[in-house]
């Protein structure tokens, strides 16, 4: 047999064994035998690179490094789902669709997996591209990482030359998640919080070999091509023959009452499933009827999600402690009798602020009920006062900082108490530096929570500007700081000088200035000097900048200590200007703000946005008293039109916008 045929035969055999093991759960050879075949193939491919195939079973091992994930457009939009919470909600949905479809309707119902939506593009039976949902129109290209997931077919078993998209959910099974956390615990690493966030973070790791080491699974719930299957029942029963992993538990009926029984059964049995679910999805079975029903601007009319109520359990509140955040905000925390909830042991829950405690009249010793918001964050929902101890006393909120003893302040129109001893309150000092070095900010390698605390305790840093004055000789002598760690830290600090301005601005930790707001400010003002010199009226002209953010920016830059820190960072070479600002072609629309809404005949919304911005105009997301124009397309919601009339904004068409910019010609 020729080398080429050996390689092809081995690939075919390994694809088949992979399908038997991961999709059918019926392995026909041992793991050892599989590994031996894989090694044989790997050696042959390495010796004969001219037979390389992106979809070879050896590519599941990973190894490709992706520095950034490029954005790519879906062939067809990935819509979100409208939600329901009761049988009555589902019946109301049924009434609406029966006004459009008069024939009998059959429904399918599947479990709603709590993971990350994925879009897989296949052509000639091969996986070509894998995209995240993104904004529904385009998503991030995570192909190299998705290829490492065993339940994603790289080559379809039933060859089809049809180009189509398969939609599914990438999940992390609970068993694999727990095992992953056991390993992290032994290694002294921070534990992952939940399966969904862990799956999401894993999918965006730069090293695909690390993705391959984590237990991800892909469950397919639809195929965007009517030539393959004529209805959803047909898809559910037969898509597995192509190699797709289809969850076997689903229901098909013409009765919503029967569908609802299926939903309630799995709501009660959800803890017995191998992965997390947060509800179920009811769909019209027939694809012709789906075409007739169509879509709203956000949702398919032919599908409805049913959301489960969060699981709730009671336990005893043993004590209340108080934490100090990086902004000086004081957060009361309930220390609970440990209890299992939605697959994890819950010991603590945030009590938010003094107003929340007063509202529920929460006291130490109370029997409280907790649930997980979105099945993730534990929160107290109510108190069983009949079980309250007889000697119970109402809680008096602390008046002094639990860390530095400084007098606390409760700001007008804010629920939180604050410690304003920001330069000498250690949790605030450490918290601001931790925020500065975080992955979405300066992303400094070699620096973690413990290292920051170590540097602060030893008096080497008091603020984030001090990081850029650190010397190798100062840190190599510290406890648990070997030569390699010290060198990595210094190199990480030096590399951070290349971080873009919007991330530097976010890293400064200005109250109310998150990632999105930082990007908006940088796009609008282009330099730190322009932001510092902007007055209140100039700031609130920026999309999404309201009174609270504008005042916070002004207060931050009016503080002489903050300005001293910024000047030190400038001297150390950090980026405080942007190279990404839009070049203006004219100032025809200067100081005019626009809202774009609806579907347009000749131009995409992005094209309209670009021409407004390059001619000096500003795009805002919602109609307010600051809006000058509403550019209205087809299928625009009535609320925006009502608001535009109310606030005196002029409603114009895409053609009227054309005339404003180019009176005698079109935009293109």
Same domain, 48 and 79: no
Same domain, 118 and 29: no
pLDDT in tens, 54-75: 677 776 665 555 656 788 889 9
- Which alpha helices (DSSP H) does 384-514 contain, by range? 426-437, 449-457, 472-475, 483-495, 501-507
> Does 320 reside within a domain?
yes
What is the CB neighbour count within 10 angstroms for residue 298? Answer: 11
Which of 127, 128, 123 lies closest to 162 in space, CA to CA?
A: 123
Provide mean pLDDT across the span 221-245. Answer: 91
Greater confidence, 190 or 356?
A: 356
Q: Three-state SS for 290?
A: helix
Which of 164, 120, 169 lies closest to 143 in space, CA to CA?
A: 120
Same domain, 57 and 78: no
Q: Which residues contact 403 (CB under 8 A, 6 or more apart)?
A: 324, 419, 425, 426, 427
Q: What is the pLDDT of residue 170?
A: 96
Token duo for residue 169: 């959910």
> Does 210 reside within a domain?
yes
Q: Is 510 exposed, middle or buried (0-12, 13-18, 19+ CB in 10 A)?
A: buried
pLDDT in tens, 6-40: 787 887 777 777 767 656 667 777 766 776 777 77
pLDDT in tens, 437-446: 988 899 887 7
- Per-residue pLDDT for 163 more than 70? yes
Q: Token pair 């450490």 is at which residue?
A: 430
* 41 vs 7: CA distance, rounded Å: 6
Whether the Cβ atoms of residue 534 and residue 586 lie closer than 8 Å to each other:
no
Q: Which residues contact 194 (CB under 8 A, 6 or more apart)?
A: 177, 276, 344, 375, 376
Residue-wise burial string across 210-222, b where 16 or more C-beta atoms lie within 10 A, e elsewhere: ebbebbbbbbbbb
> Does 579 reside within a domain?
no
What is the CB neighbour count within 10 angstroms for residue 398? Answer: 14
Q: What is the pLDDT of residue 625?
A: 82
Rg (CA), the chain: 29
Residue 308 has phi, psi (to 5 degrees) of -70, 150
Same domain, 295 and 203: yes
Q: What percent of the chain has pLDDT over 90?
A: 48
Domain CATH number, residue 515? 1.10.150.20
Same domain, 303 and 347: no
Q: Three-state SS for 328?
A: coil
Provide mean pLDDT across the span 42-49. Answer: 78
Q: What is the pLDDT of residue 23?
A: 60
HSE-CB at 440 with a 13 A cutoff on CA atoms is 10
- Per-residue pLDDT for 373 more than 70? no
Same domain, 48 and 164: no
Q: What is the pLDDT of residue 507?
A: 95
> Does 395 reside within a domain?
no
Same domain, 81 and 154: yes
Domain end position, chosen among 471, 498, 525:
498
Domain CATH number, residue 217? 3.30.470.30
Provide mean pLDDT across the span 205-225. Answer: 89
Domain CATH number, residue 380? 2.40.50.140
* 151 vs 22: CA distance, rounded Å: 6
Residue-wise burial string across 470-505, b where 16 or more C-beta atoms lie within 10 A, e elsewhere: beeebbbebeebeeeebeebbebbeebeebebbbbb
- Tell me the average pLDDT of the chain: 86
Whether the Cβ atoms of residue 351 and residue 382 lie closer than 8 Å to each other:
no
Domain CATH number, residue 627? 3.40.50.10190
Q: Three-state SS for 412?
A: coil
Q: Is 465 exposed, middle or buried (0-12, 13-18, 19+ CB in 10 A)?
A: buried
Q: Which residues contact 488 (CB under 8 A, 6 or more apart)?
A: 445, 446
Domain end position, chosen among 378, 410, 442:
410
Same domain, 299 and 339: no
Q: Three-state SS for 315?
A: strand
- Per-residue pLDDT for 552 more than 70? yes
Token duo for residue 217: 């699974």
Provide mean pLDDT across the span 538-551. Answer: 84
* 105 vs 29: CA distance, rounded Å: 45
Provide mean pLDDT across the span 656-660. Answer: 84
- Can you say whether the dihedral through the CA atoms of 448, 453, 458, 464 is positive or negative? positive
Same domain, 289 and 374: no
Domain end position, chosen among 19, 34, 61:
61
Q: Which domain holds residue 204?
A: 71-256+270-307
> Does 588 reside within a domain?
no
What is the CB neighbour count within 10 angstroms for residue 526? Answer: 17
Provide mean pLDDT across the span 550-557. Answer: 94
Q: Of 42, 73, 112, 643, which one is the catalytic site residue?
A: 112
Same domain, 186 and 103: yes
631 sits in which H/E element: strand 629-632
Q: Token pair 């916070």 is at which residue?
A: 552
Q: What percent of the chain has pLDDT over 70?
A: 93
Same domain, 442 and 529: no
pLDDT in tens, 80-94: 899 898 999 999 999
> Does 199 reside within a domain?
yes
Q: Which runs of E-coded beta strand occur in 362-461?
A: 367-373, 377-384, 409-410, 417-418
Whether the Cβ atoms of residue 287 and residue 230 lie closer than 8 Å to each other:
yes
Q: How many domains does the chain have?
A: 6
Same domain, 81 and 29: no
pLDDT in tens, 507-517: 999 988 988 78
> Does 582 reside within a domain?
no
pLDDT in tens, 47-56: 777 777 767 7
* 351 vs 320: CA distance, rounded Å: 9
* 250 vs 631: CA distance, rounded Å: 44
Q: Is 21 exposed, middle or buried (0-12, 13-18, 19+ CB in 10 A)?
A: middle
112 has catalytic annotation: yes
Domain CATH number, residue 35? 1.10.287.610
Q: What is the pLDDT of residue 665?
A: 42
What does the longest C-alpha to C-alpha distance in the chain come to?
Answer: 87
Q: What is the pLDDT of residue 402?
A: 96
Whole-prediction pTM: 0.53
Provide mean pLDDT across the span 393-397. Answer: 92
* 162 vs 604: CA distance, rounded Å: 28
Q: Which residues contact 136 (CB under 8 A, 6 or more apart)?
A: 74, 77, 78, 79, 80
Provide mean pLDDT across the span 143-160. Answer: 88
* 368 vs 317: CA distance, rounded Å: 7
> Does 484 reside within a domain?
yes
């Amino acid at each position: 047999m020729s080398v080429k045929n050996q390689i092809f035969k081995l690939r075919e055999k390994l694809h088949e064994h992979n399908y038997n093991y991961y999709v059918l759960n019926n392995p026909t050879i041992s793991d050892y035998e599989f590994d031996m075949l894989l090694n044989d193939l790997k050696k042959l491919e390495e010796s004969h690179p001219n037979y390389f195939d992106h979809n070879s079973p050896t590519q599941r091992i990973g190894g490709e490094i992706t520095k950034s994930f490029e954005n790519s457009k879906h062939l067809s939009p990935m819509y979100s789902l409208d939600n329901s919470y009761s049988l009555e909600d589902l019946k109301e949905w049924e009434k609406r669709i029966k006004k459009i479809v008069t024939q009998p309707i059959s429904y399918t119902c599947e479990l709603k997996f709590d993971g990350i939506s994925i879009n897989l593009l296949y052509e000639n039976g091969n996986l070509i591209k894998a995209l995240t949902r993104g904004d529904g129109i385009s998503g991030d290209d995570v192909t190299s990482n998705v290829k490492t997931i065993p339940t994603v077919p790289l080559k379809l078993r039933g060859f089809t030359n049809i180009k189509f998209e398969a939609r599914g959910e990438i999940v992390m099974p609970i068993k694999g998640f727990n095992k992953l956390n056991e390993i992290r615990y032994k290694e002294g690493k921070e534990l992952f919080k939940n399966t969904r966030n862990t799956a999401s973070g894993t999918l965006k790791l730069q090293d695909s070999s690390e993705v391959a080491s984590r237990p991800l699974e892909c469950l397919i719930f639809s195929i965007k091509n009517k030539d393959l299957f004529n209805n959803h029942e047909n898809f559910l029963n037969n898509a597995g023959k192509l190699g797709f992993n289809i969850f076997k538990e689903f229901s098909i009926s013409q009765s919503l009452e029967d569908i609802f029984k299926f939903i309630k059964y799995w709501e009660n049995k959800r803890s017995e499933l191998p992965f997390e679910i947060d509800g179920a999805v009811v769909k019209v079975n027939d694809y012709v009827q789906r075409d007739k029903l169509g879509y709203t601007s956000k949702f398919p009319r032919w599908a409805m999600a049913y959301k489960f109520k969060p699981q709730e359990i009671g336990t005893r509140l043993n004590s209340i402690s108080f934490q100090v955040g990086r902004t000086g905000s004081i957060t009361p925390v309930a220390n609970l009798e440990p209890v299992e909830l939605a697959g994890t042991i819950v010991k603590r829950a945030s009590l938010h602020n003094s107003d929340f405690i007063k509202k529920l009249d929460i006291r130490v010793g109370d029997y409280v009920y907790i649930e997980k918001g979105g099945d993730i964050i534990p929160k107290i929902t109510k108190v069983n006062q009949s079980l309250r101890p007889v000697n119970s006393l109402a809680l008096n909120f602390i008046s002094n900082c639990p860390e530095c003893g400084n007098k606390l302040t409760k700001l007008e129109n804010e629920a939180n108490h604050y410690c304003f001893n920001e330069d000498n309150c250690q949790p605030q000092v450490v918290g601001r530096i931790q925020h500065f070095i975080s992955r979405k900010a300066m992303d400094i390698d070699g620096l973690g929570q413990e290292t920051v605390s170590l540097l602060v305790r030893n008096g080497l840093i008091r603020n984030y500007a001090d990081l850029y004055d650190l010397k190798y000789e100062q840190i190599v002598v510290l406890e648990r700081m070997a030569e390699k760690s010290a060198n990595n830290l210094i190199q990480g600090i030096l590399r951070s000088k290349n971080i873009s301005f919007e991330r530097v601005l976010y890293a400064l930790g200005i109250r109310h200035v998150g990632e999105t707001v930082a990007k908006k400010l940088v796009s609008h003002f282009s330099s730190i000097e322009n932001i510092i010199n902007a007055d209140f009226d100039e700031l609130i002209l920026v999309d999404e900048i309201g009174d609270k953010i504008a005042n916070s920016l002004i207060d931050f830059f009016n503080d002489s200590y903050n300005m001293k820190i910024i000047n030190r960072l400038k001297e150390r070479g950090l980026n405080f200007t942007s190279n990404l600002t839009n070049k203006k072609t004219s100032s025809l629309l200067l100081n005019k703000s626009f809202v774009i809404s609806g579907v347009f005949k000749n131009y995409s919304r992005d094209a309209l946005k670009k021409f407004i911005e390059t001619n000096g105009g500003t795009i805002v997301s919602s109609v307010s008293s600051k809006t000058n124009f509403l550019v209205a397309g087809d299928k625009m919601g009535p609320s925006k039109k009502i608001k535009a009339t109310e606030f005196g904004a002029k409603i114009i068409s895409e053609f009227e916008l054309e005339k404003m910019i180019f009176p005698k010609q079109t935009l293109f």
